[in-house]
Amino acid sequence: MTEPTTTPDATPGATVTADVPLVRARGLVKRFPITRGVVLQRAIGHVHALAGVDFDIYAGKTLGVVGESGCGKSTAARIVARLLEPTEGTIEFEGRDITTLSRRQMVPLRRTVQVVFQDPYASLNPRQSVGQIIAAPLRVHGVEGDRRKKVQELMAQVGLNPEHFNRYPHEFSGGQRQRIGIARALALEPKLIICDEPVSALDVSIQAQVLNLLGDLQRERGLAYMFISHDLGVVRHVSHRISVMYLGSIVENADRDALYDNPRHPYTVALISAAPTGERGARTRRLLLAGDVPSPAAPPPGCTFHPRCPKARLVSGDPAEVPERCRTERPVLTDVGEGHQVACWYPIEKGDAEKMMEIQASEITLEGDPELGVAQTEGLTDAQPRPDDLVDGGTGL
Ligand SMILES: Nc1ncnc2c1ncn2[C@@H]1O[C@H](COP(=O)(O)OP(=O)(O)OP(=O)(O)O)[C@@H](O)[C@H]1O
Ligand code: SF4
Ligand SMILES: [Mg+2]
């Protein structure tokens, strides 16, 4: 078993400033037009990918962003990297508003924010050698000096053999390719690396090694990460602070331990209860959500989570009813103490999780399990270790 050295505590190289974040995002909205027509394309609606999102990323720290597919994680990341323009809202970098900077004005800033993508196969040009790939940002930004030496130093830092400088991506394994992507991201000595599902395409046994590497680099270089994943186990191990997203909004923002020990949004409770415990064959009580995620082209009014929310049903006292406030008024992120923020009219209180499980047990017949209210941990078999097994021996969530 590989024991990652990733800990979100010590970041000696970091120049952490307590109050000015490296990145401050406020009110980010992104609407993608839905068009009809071949020649004259008419907008017939919009996908509301981001519906007003605020977050801060601090130097030397990791902001984890977690949520189901389509909730807007990559859109937020691409806006921070300035690969995409927000429809509304602002991005500040080290206190400076960069939202309206021109391409030319952005050039020096582009060096300070780099991206590592999910797919280490698709994100590397198969016709370029590893040396060319890692040197590309140096070339583009006109960095002088011995590029080959610099690239070989980077290769050594990410655990690749510097003598493999002339090899091509297909000659490397998935984990090694992701190391190439990380070396390329490091080339310009950025302050922030956006990691968009960086280990999701890797075998579980390799995931921990790449997470270790990211943790070591953060400590050595004082790097900040925006770390996106749908895997709560992975996010837990790399993040200092976590934003939980649902349908284009952040519904909960908290320091890592506060989020896992005391989740206040019903969606976070459901996500945590659905995550594998890491113990093989373990059975856990799991809060199931009714229905599917609504379409971001037609988000529900009021709280967008209301059609699926178990807490709303607990508040109304009727499994078929949702309080009017949840149906009509959109909750905003509100501080519930010590920087823990939640967007919910009725945040989770002690004992709510059990009560919601009881309502669920009386309403829902769980598939494939004779014991009502107890679900087999999804996707966990003896043959398939989880990252949790690898990173902390399976303490679970
Ligand atoms: N260029 C685009 N044009 C139209 N719609 C888009 C575009 N990019 C993203 N979307 C839509 O915006 C919403 C958010 O997408 P996004 O890729 O940010 O989600 P995500 O949380 O990263 O999902 P995943 O976990 O699957 O990567 C989705 O409904 C997606 O279909
Ligand atoms: S505001 Fe209402 S519907 Fe939304 S999460 Fe809170 S309790 Fe549930
Ligand atoms: Mg994505």
- Contacts of 342 by beta carbon, 8 Å cutoff, 6+ apart: 251, 252, 253, 264, 265, 333, 334, 336
Report the alpha-carbon distance of residue 209 to residue 30 in Å, rounded: 35
Q: Which residues contact 291 (CB under 8 A, 6 or more apart)?
A: 307, 308
In this predicted structure, what is the pLDDT of residue 4?
43
Q: What is the mean pLDDT of the chain?
A: 84
Question: What pLDDT is recorded for position 280?
Answer: 53
Cα distance between residue 66 and residue 249, in whole Å = 11
Task: Check residue 145 and give its pLDDT.
Answer: 87
Please answer whether residues 265 and 356 qualify as being in contact, where contact means their C-beta atoms are separated by less than 8 angstroms: no
Tokens 């186990």 correspond to what residue? 233
CA 288 to chain centre: 22
Q: Which tokens is 326 given?
A: 């949840």
Ligand 2 atom nearest residue 322's Cα: 3
Which residues does a 6 A CB cutoff place in the pocket of ligand 2? Answer: 266, 303, 305-306, 309, 311-312, 326, 331, 344-346
Left if phi > 0, otherwise alpha if psi is -120 to 50, otherwise beta: which for 183? alpha
- Ligand 3: distance of its center to the CA of 197 in Å? 7
Give me the DSSP letters along 152-202: HHHHHHTT--GGGGG--GGGS-HHHHHHHHHHHHHTT--SEEEEESTTTTS
Radius of gyration of the chain (CA): 22
Terminal alpha carbon distance of the chain: 19
How many angstroms does the Cα of residue 248 sit away from the middle of ligand 1?
9
Residue 6 near residue 215, CB atoms below 8 Å: yes
Burial (0-12, 13-18, 19+ Cβ within 10 Å), 36: exposed
How much is the pTM? 0.86
pLDDT at 293: 87
Task: Out of 36, 48, 73, give the residue to mutate to test ligand 1, the one with the largest number of ligand atoms within 8 Å of its CB.
Answer: 73
- The amino acid sitting at 225 is Y
- Summarised one tens digit per residue, pLDDT across range 333-377 is 999 999 999 999 999 999 999 898 887 777 654 443 433 333 333
Predicted local confidence at residue 284, as pLDDT: 59
Residue 54: in which H helix or E strand, if any? Answer: strand 42-57
- Among all bound ligands, the one having the nearest atom to the CA of 71 is 1
Q: How far is the CA of 113 from the centre of ligand 1 (A)?
A: 21
Residues 6+ apart with CB under 8 A from 350: none
Residues of the chain with pLDDT below 70 are 1-18, 276-284, 363-397
Please name the residue whose Cα sits nearest to atom 2 of ligand 2. 326
Identify the residue whose C-alpha is closest to ligand 1 atom 4: 32
CB-based contact 14:61 (threshold 8 Å): yes
* 75 close to ligand 1 (CB < 6 Angstrom): yes
Distance CA 293, CA 291 (A): 7
pLDDT value of position 11? 40
Contacts for 224 with CB less than 8 Å, ≥ 6 apart: 22, 23, 57, 58, 59, 60, 61, 62, 63, 191, 192, 193, 218
With a 6 Å cutoff on the Cβ, whether 46 touches ligand 1 is no
201 and 174 in contact (C-beta within 8 Å)? yes
What's the pLDDT score for residue 6?
Answer: 41
pLDDT value of position 287: 84
Regarding the beta carbon of 71 and ligand 1, being less than 6 Å apart is answered yes
Mutate which of 245, 247, 267, 309 for ligand 2? The one with the most ligand atoms within 8 Å of its CB, which is: 309
